[in-house]
């Protein structure tokens, strides 16, 4: 009995991983650590190339990415083809399409599965317990890697802009105070 308590004392519960502690594949299939985005706000989006909302979302996301810059903010695109077969092709083709058609400059990652037994091990939406039900759900991740807000496909992009901008402003103010 004493040895069981000793062993249990040595086992430490695993701290849940935050968003930035994961490694994922980029659109070219290379392993990338999300750690390089720590300290910034990230808008994580499950994207699709052939959705009725593709154009408005890609244009909005690119504008936001351009306006807020990459010093304190990033849009991170994760293609997903599980909703209405709206994301065909492989990850390289998807990224090339978005760049050629919408002049996208934010990072694209490998095509993911959100639902079912093939769902990816990393799921930024787990912490808010909201599984995307369609394309272009947006998850705002704070500098510490915690999802602090999410928006469904049909929610106002102006609300997204205001809340993302507010978080970026907080990050900038905090960094200035630390100087």
For position 59, which CATH number holds? 3.40.30.10
Q: Residue 89: its pLDDT value, please?
A: 82
**What number is the average pLDDT over the span 138-143?**
95
Residue 64 counted as domain residue: yes
Number of domains, the chain: 1
- Whole-number Cα distances in Å, 50 to 33, 80, 85, 95, 166: 28, 11, 8, 13, 31
Q: Residue 8: its pLDDT value, please?
A: 45
Q: What is the pTM of this model?
A: 0.85
Residue 138 counted as domain residue: yes
Q: Residue 4: its pLDDT value, please?
A: 45
Q: Residue 10: its pLDDT value, please?
A: 45
Residue 9 counted as domain residue: no
Show Cβ contacts of residue 153 under 8 Å, excluding neighbours closer than 6 positions.
53, 134, 135, 136, 137
Tell me the pLDDT band of 149, cut-offs 50, 70 and 90: very high
Residue 1 counted as domain residue: no
Residue 161 counted as domain residue: yes
Residue 10 counted as domain residue: no
Residue 7 counted as domain residue: no
Whether the predicted pLDDT of 59 surpasses 80: yes
Residue 160 counted as domain residue: yes
Q: Residue 103: its pLDDT value, please?
A: 97
- Domain housing 121: 15-178
Whether the predicted pLDDT of 25 surpasses 60: yes
Q: Residue 127: its pLDDT value, please?
A: 52
**What number is the average pLDDT over the span 58-84?**
92
Whether the predicted pLDDT of 114 surpasses 90: no
């Amino acid at each position: 009995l004493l040895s069981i308590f000793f062993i249990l004392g040595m086992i430490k519960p695993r701290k849940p991983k935050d968003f930035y502690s994961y490694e994922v594949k980029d659109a070219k299939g290379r392993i990338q650590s999300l750690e390089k985005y720590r300290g910034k706000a990230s808008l994580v989006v499950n994207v699709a190339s052939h959705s009725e909302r593709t154009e408005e979302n890609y244009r909005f996301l690119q504008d936001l990415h351009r306006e807020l810059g990459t010093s304190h903010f990033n849009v991170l695109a994760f293609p997903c083809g599980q909703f209405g077969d709206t994301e065909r092709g492989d990850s390289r083709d998807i990224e090339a399409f978005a760049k050629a058609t919408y002049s996208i400059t934010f990072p694209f990652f490998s095509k993911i599965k959100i639902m079912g037994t093939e769902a990816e091990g990393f799921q930024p939406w787990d912490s808010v317990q909201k599984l995307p039900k369609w394309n272009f759900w947006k998850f705002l991740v704070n500098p510490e890697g915690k999802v602090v807000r999410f928006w469904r496909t049909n929610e106002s992009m102006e609300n997204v802009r205001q809340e993302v901008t507010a978080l970026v402003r907080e990050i900038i103010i905090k960094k200035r105070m630390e100087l």
